[in-house]
């Protein structure tokens, strides 16, 4: 007759601690790498109006007059309804340094153009755009 228990309480506590520690290390590593990932823009639409015709545009000192080049404009295929949010990674290309602008239209027909990344060399980081009835605020974390 086998009376040996497969796992003791001590082994379970040690194993749980090791798993928790590994998860913590992985989580911290992920957070440390966050700013170096491809640029992501999050739009929080807290206004009473739906947003459409959303596009992100690269502007650099070299070719800021020609924004029709491939990789200089990214158009989001869907809009952002009132009270919703959307996060997207615009597929843009940049040589050297530049800025990223976000353009969109609300359901009243008003068009807005905001700088979401005032200076970038690598198209990495995050930008958070909050749209209300009165203002549009941007929090930049670009690199």
- 29, 41, 60, 140 from 129: Cα distances, Å: 26, 7, 21, 9
d(CA 67, CA 59) in angstroms, rounded, equals 7
Q: How high is the pLDDT of residue 4?
A: 63
- 40, 58, 67, 123 from 71: Cα distances, Å: 15, 8, 9, 12
pLDDT tens digit sequence for 30-61? 665 555 568 999 999 999 999 999 999 998 76
pLDDT tens digit sequence for 72-116? 899 999 999 999 999 999 999 888 889 999 999 999 999 999 999
Q: How high is the pLDDT of residue 24?
A: 81
* pLDDT band with cut points at 50, 70 and 90 for residue 9: confident
Q: How high is the pLDDT of residue 58?
A: 92
d(CA 86, CA 77) in angstroms, rounded, equals 11
Q: Which residues pair with 59 in a beta bridge?
A: 99
Eight-class DSSP state of 124: B
Q: How high is the pLDDT of residue 1?
A: 53
pLDDT tens digit sequence for 119-143? 888 888 899 999 999 999 999 998 8
pTM (2 d.p.): 0.71
Lookup: tokens for 16: 């749980």
């Amino acid at each position: 007759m086998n009376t040996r228990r497969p796992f003791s309480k001590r082994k379970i506590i040690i194993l749980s601690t090791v798993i928790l520690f590994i998860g913590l290390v992985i989580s911290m590593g992920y957070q440390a790498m966050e700013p170096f990932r491809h640029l992501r823009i999050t739009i929080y639409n807290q206004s009473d109006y739906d947003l459409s015709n959303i596009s992100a545009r690269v502007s650099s000192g070299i070719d800021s007059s020609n924004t029709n080049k491939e990789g200089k404009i990214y158009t989001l295929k869907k809009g952002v309804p009132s009270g919703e949010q959307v996060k997207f990674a615009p597929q843009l290309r940049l040589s050297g340094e530049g800025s990223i602008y976000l353009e969109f239209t609300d359901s009243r027909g008003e068009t807005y153009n905001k700088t979401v990344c005032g200076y970038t060399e690598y198209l990495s980081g995050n930008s958070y755009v909050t749209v209300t009835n009165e203002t549009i605020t941007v929090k930049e974390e670009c690199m």
